[in-house]
Amino acid sequence: MTTKHREDLLRQMIRIRRFEERCVELYSSTKIRGFMHLYIGEEAVAAGVLGALGPSDAVVSTYREHGHALARGISMEAVLAEMYGRTNGCSRGRGGSMHLFDAGRRFYGGNAIVGGGLPLAVGLALASAMRGEPVVTACLFGDGAVAEGEFHECLNLAALWRLPVLFCCENNLYAMGTALARAQAETDLALRASSYGMPSWPVDGMDPLAVAAATERAVESIRGGSGPCFLELRTYRFRAHSMYDAERYRDRAEVERWKDRDPIPRLAALMREDGELTDAELETIESEVGDELTAAIAAAEAGPFEPVSDLTRFVYAEHAS
């Protein structure tokens, strides 16, 4: 992997981390409302997976998707303005934190029904296969989705029809407050997926280099026409499930143990060791990300509100009359 590639991964993770840290402040000062689910700790997955896709590939995501959206190239301004409920938000303020969309970047949301995005990904892949386009649809979901019927229906259908889907299970060990072992009889999720006859492997989701390498390998296989792949990305969220979570279900010590594996300092240390990163360079990245964030907040706060008279727009297509 080139230095440039590693630096891109590092920068992407820092962008996501700093963005969400600021979101916490904005939420506390009530500028952002609704449910907000933070991704902090899981950035290696977004950086590694999304970074390995091309612009014509499609992405289906979940309600914990700020990181996915940013890594897909949706601007900080568009994501933040969405959380502010403004028309310059990437869903014009109709979706909020859980429903980020960008049709041009083929980012199909932002789905707040656990498992609800999997069938969409199968269909997007079916469309590209029927149209003869060499496109991969990446479908991100959490370990909680594995308990849903749609998970099993969709893995079967994608494998049966050899569709170009990359199933990316972000296993952060908790479905909201329910630990994996309290919900799943078999906790080896890659093993479960492999029973549907698709290549499936576990990946260290705290290591962006491992995530990027696994994604590249899977994408190459899928683009080659051999059907879907499944990645179990073993990761951990450092923060609560949402802003309303008292975290009664896990030990602080467990969280601290996982923080020792924080992907950002881990990659930075590796790059320093290999002579690919100096303190000054890291400072530059932080400073550039800080500037980007400051500009995004200003733009979000300056964004116009949708007039209430437009309330019922976008329920149906608007016909030219």
* Residues at the contact surface with another protein, assessed by CB under 8 A: 58, 60, 89-95, 99, 101-103, 108-111, 113, 116, 118-128, 130-131, 149-150, 153-154, 156-157, 160, 313-318
Query: Residue 170 corresponds to which amino acid?
Result: E
Q: How would you write 160-212 as a 3-class SS string? A: HCCCCEEEEEEECCEECCEEHHHHCCCCCHHHHHHCCCCCEEEEECCCHHHHH
Which pair of tokens denotes residue 190? 């890659």
Q: Which residues of 177-205 are buried (b: 16+ CB within 10 A; e: fewer)?
A: eeebeeebeebebbebbeebebbbebbbb
Which CB, 275 or 307, lies closer to another protein?
Answer: 307
**Residue 137 CB, nearest approach to another protein (Å):** 8
Which CB, 120 or 282, lies closer to another protein?
Answer: 120
Which CB, 153 or 216, lies closer to another protein?
Answer: 153
Which CB, 64 or 92, lies closer to another protein?
Answer: 92
Which CB, 41 or 117, lies closer to another protein?
Answer: 117
**Residue 113 CB, nearest approach to another protein (Å):** 5
**Residue 61 CB, nearest approach to another protein (Å):** 13
Which CB, 135 or 267, lies closer to another protein?
Answer: 135
**Residue 312 CB, nearest approach to another protein (Å):** 8
Give the contacts of 316 (CB within 8 A, at least 6 positions apart).
none
Count CB neighbours of 209 within 10 A: 19
Give the contacts of 16 (CB within 8 A, at least 6 positions apart).
39, 43, 46, 47, 66, 67, 70, 71
**Residue 234 CB, nearest approach to another protein (Å):** 26
**Residue 39 CB, nearest approach to another protein (Å):** 20
